[in-house]
Amino acid sequence: MQTIQHLTVAADQVGQRLDNYLLSRLKGLPKSRLYRIIRKGEVRVNKKRVKPDYRLEIDDVIRIPPLRLATPNAKISPNEKLIALFEKSIIFEDKNFLAINKPSGIAVHGGSGIQLGVIETLRALRPQQKFLELVHRLDRDTSGCLLIAKKSSILKELHELLRTGGDIKKTYLALVAGHWPSSLKKIDVPLHKNQLQSGERIVRVHESGKNCLTEFHPIQSFADTTLIEAMPITGRTHQIRVHAQYAKHPIIGDEKYGDKSANKKMRELGCKRLFLHASELEFYLPSIEQRFQLKAELPPDLNHCLKHLSEKKD
């Protein structure tokens, strides 16, 4: 790409984040480089500076500067084992969207050395489906309920629900260090997101950040940990993880915001990854006048961990 390019957003691309849109089109461009050119204003939408999480609108004109792109690798297709895993992970599907119980360890989309993510695998699984886009994200190590839209109109409607905090309820299960007090029912502190040059995101509690609210409810206490429900009212990056850290009860297995000694102890007891699971998603879609309540069962590895803790407690 030796010259400036201008791309116009089509109807089926409305609602996508700018960074995701560009990552899918600028194959071979390092993720860190992409965020740098957005931050410096070299990428513009309708001649204006925008942030990576800007949601595209129809007929937006995106300016892309001259770039040197690496030669893309040959397209990688999911193997039979991965396809079988995803077929088994689908918990709901109709003509508007599908929902999967995302396995831990799989990113929602490719990039930064990850060749296959959830969306690439599902597109390979449903080659006849012309439109498949992520409605929201889950961290790579987080398992649970993930929505994928089959229509741009549904994508836009669900994005609006998530943006405004409308008639939508998200529930997560998490195992945290220590004994979570029953009196601590919510945490309402602002979060500020920093983008490192490597592309890694670090979130901290800071007064200059965006308002952020999470409701918490302890379910079961063990010797040194507590199983809790977490309901994020807002939808910030790493919200539950950082709020749990702020409460001095970080999530077990969290290598970024957690407690190293607690994580090491729990690894010895069989909990070898982030214990955070999107267990339930409930929402109402006005366009089709239908309410959905989707549940993603706790995966075997986390169930095994809870069983081991219960036996140890007894």
| Residue among 19, 139, 254, 259 flagged as catalytic | 139
Question: CB count, 10 Å around CB of 93?
Answer: 13
Which has the closest alpha carbon to 138: 29, 242, 240? Answer: 240
Q: Enumerate helices (H) and strands (E) in the chain, giving the number of each.
A: 8, 15
H helical segments located in 97-174:
118-125, 152-164
66: tokens are: 């001259």
Asked if 91 contacts 296 with a C-beta cutoff of 8 angstroms, the reply is: yes
Q: Report the C-alpha gap between 110 and 176 in whole angstroms.
A: 29
Integer angstrom CA distances of residue 197 from 19, 119, 154, 206 = 15, 26, 34, 20
Q: Is 301 a catalytic residue?
A: no
CB burial of residue 103 (10 Å; 0-12, 13-18, 19+): middle
Tokens of 300: 């075997």
Q: What is the C-alpha separation between 239 and 241, in angstroms, rounded?
A: 6
Q: Which of 39, 33, 43, 32 is nearest to 6 (CA)?
A: 43
User: What's the Cα-to-Cα distance from 91 to each of 102, 110, 148, 205, 208, rounded to whole Å?
Assistant: 10, 22, 12, 35, 39
Q: Which residues are designated catalytic?
A: 139
